Structure formats: structure tokens, C-alpha cells
């Protein structure tokens, strides 16, 4: 493990060592010292992939394709600042988004004409991605409870040209299940979390807030959000739960809590997604044994291009 990584909280690294297989630990830990490239996806409602690629190449940008998502690209050589000066960025023809962040909407797989709930939507990256996946057909209720983030969400919806399809709301996500019971075909709960997957050893501000108390604070909030999302889901509907943290309390523990409370009302499903940096959910954590189906969830291990993430898919019976 590189020496600069040891600047991260000691307890965090000790916990991470218990989560990551020993033969992968050093490689995963070392990613906290890397500067990841800028990644983005094409807003296919405004422009084609070919047109955006051509425009950026004509301006001297080098792009690498993403094998599992044809609409996504990795920027080579230049950075975010240069990309923000381009017309394709200013006109909303692209959306800058982390690769890991693109996976939950792909797993949710919203279809044209469906009614979708994005329970914690700001700043709008996954909301606008889902509109593209739905080919601009259907309805999305995009909610957030933070006023500053809510207005950023509205601005991004306008720039991306999806206002007609998306209804932004400013509410506590924990209450939406009671406001809209059994109303949505699919629900995305991209929960606020302790953000361990985005730690950078070179940026102390990225982890300065971190304490175990923060993990447990987030866990309590996430449990309420997930239950709210399940209540809002139609019978037979699909819900995806995701975080950008490693903490099992915020991931497997939250899923296990929902399964204990709701029993056979919900079922965790396997996720068909193939990447070399995936591992299944944990069976146990600190003397707690989880429901066997929790292992169907996926932990996305960070690498040179991707942040750490966690994704689970469930169906309401």
C-alpha cells in the first residue's frame, strides 16, 4: 500500500481490509492516491454519439470508449476545465458523470412510457440518464430535500432539455412512500452516504468529516429512505438501491433490515452486469449474519477510472 494512502483515517483502512479480499486490498487501497480522468455520457435526446465524438475530436479532444456503455466516454489528455469550455458541454449535449454513477440507472433499466421515482435525485445525473434510457417517453418524479441541491437539479434538468418529462419536487424522501403509495413502475434510491468510495488521499477535505458516527447516522437515514421507496413501488415493480460507500452498515445492513421488516414482500435479485472490478455482497459483518440473498448485491471496487460504489436490485412481490 502506498505511503500517501496511510493519511486516510486508520479505522476506515482497518475496516476496508475486512471487506476487500486480501489479494486485492493493496490494489484497491492504492486507488485512493490516483487522480481519475473526466468521464461523461452523451445526452442522446439532444445529439447523437457520433456527432458529439466528431465535434470533440475536431476541438483536439481524445476520447476512449466505455465497453459496457456505448454512450459514455473517458477523456484523455485534457481535463474538466477544457471540456466545460466546449459548445457540447454548454448546450447540454453531454453530462459529466462518474462511470460508477452510471451503473445504477442501467441496472434499474427504466423503459419508455413508465413512471419512475428518483427518490434522492440532485444534482440530476441519474435522472437525466434515465430520461435518455427511456427515449424521452414516460414520467419521472425527481425528488430532493436540500434546497440548494434542488435548484441545481432544476438547472441541470433545464440544460439537458428534460423538463417536460421530469417533475422536480422538494420533499423529505422518507415521506414520499406515504404520499405516493404503490405508484411507480421503478424506483431509484441512490442514497446519501458517508461517500467512502470517493475518498482521495490527496484531498483531505474528501475524508475529513468521516467518523464511525457518520456511518451510523447515514445508516439510519438510508433505512427510512429504502422503506419509503419500497412503499412507493407498484407490486411487481423494480427498485435499485445504491451508495458510493464501502460501509456494510450502509449497504448490506440496510438491505438486511428491509428484508427483516418486510419478509416475502420483497426479493433481492441477481444483477447481470459484467466488470472485472465487481464483488458480491458480504455474507457477514462484525458477527452479524445477513439474509442469504444479500450476496446478490454488488460492490464496485475502485480502479483507475471508477469510484467505489454499491448496487442492489429488488422486486416487490
CB 252 within 8 A of CB 285: yes
Give the number of other Cβ atoms within 10 Å of residue 33's Cβ. Answer: 16
Q: H helices of the chain, where?
A: 10-19, 22-30, 49-58, 80-84, 87-90, 99-108, 125-133, 147-160, 173-179, 212-232, 252-262
CB 301 within 8 A of CB 20: yes
Residues with catalytic function: 244
CA separation for the pair 16, 282 (Å, rounded): 12
CA separation for the pair 76, 98 (Å, rounded): 15
Grid cell locating 16: 476496508
The burial of 158, by beta-carbon neighbours within 10 Å (0-12 exposed, 13-18 middle, 19 or more buried), is given as middle
CA separation for the pair 289, 65 (Å, rounded): 40
CA separation for the pair 225, 118 (Å, rounded): 11
CB 74 within 8 A of CB 64: yes
CA separation for the pair 78, 75 (Å, rounded): 7
Amino acid at each position: 500500500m502506498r505511503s500517501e494512502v496511510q493519511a486516510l483515517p486508520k479505522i476506515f483502512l482497518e475496516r476496508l481490509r475486512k471487506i476487500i479480499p486480501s489479494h486485492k486490498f493493496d490494489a484497491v487501497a492504492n486507488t485512493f492516491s490516483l487522480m481519475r480522468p473526466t468521464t461523461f455520457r452523451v445526452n442522446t435526446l439532444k445529439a447523437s454519439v457520433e456527432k458529439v465524438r466528431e465535434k470533440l475530436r475536431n476541438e483536439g479532444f481524445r476520447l476512449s470508449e466505455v465497453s459496457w456503455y456505448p454512450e459514455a466516454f473517458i477523456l484523455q489528455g485534457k481535463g474538466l476545465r477544457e471540456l466545460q469550455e466546449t459548445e457540447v458541454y454548454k448546450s447540454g449535449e453531454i453530462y459529466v458523470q462518474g462511470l460508477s454513477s452510471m451503473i445504477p440507472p442501467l441496472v434499474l433499466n427504466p423503459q419508455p412510457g413508465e413512471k419512475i421515482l428518483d427518490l434522492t435525485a440532485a444534482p440530476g445525473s441519474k435522472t437525466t440518464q434515465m430520461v435518455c434510457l427511456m427515449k424521452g417517453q414516460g414520467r419521472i418524479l425527481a425528488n430532493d430535500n436540500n434546497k440548494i441541491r434542488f435548484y441545481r437539479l432544476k438547472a441541470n434538468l433545464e440544460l439537458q432539455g428534460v423538463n417536460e418529462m421530469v417533475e422536480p419536487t422538494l420533499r423529505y424522501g422518507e415521506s414520499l412512500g406515504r404520499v405516493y403509495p404503490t405508484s411507480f413502475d421503478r424506483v431509484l434510491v441512490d442514497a446519501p452516504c458517508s461517500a467512502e468510495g470517493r475518498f482521495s488521499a490527496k484531498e483531505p477535505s474528501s475524508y475529513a468529516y468521516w467518523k464511525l458516527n457518520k456511518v451510523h447516522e447515514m445508516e439510519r437515514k438510508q433505512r427510512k429512505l429504502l422503506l419509503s421507496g419500497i412503499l412507493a413501488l407498484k407490486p411487481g415493480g423494480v427498485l435499485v438501491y445504491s451508495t458510493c460507500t464501502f460501509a456494510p452498515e450502509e449497504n448490506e445492513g440496510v438491505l438486511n433490515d428491509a428484508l427483516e421488516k418486510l419478509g416475502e414482500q420483497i426479493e433481492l435479485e441477481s444483477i447481470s452486469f459484467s466488470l472485472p472490478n465487481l464483488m458480491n455482497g458480504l455474507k457477514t459483518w462484525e458477527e452479524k449474519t445477513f439474509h442469504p440473498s444479500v450476496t446478490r448485491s454488488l460492490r464496485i471496487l475502485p480502479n483507475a477510472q471508477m469510484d467505489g460504489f454499491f448496487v442492489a436490485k429488488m422486486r416487490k412481490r
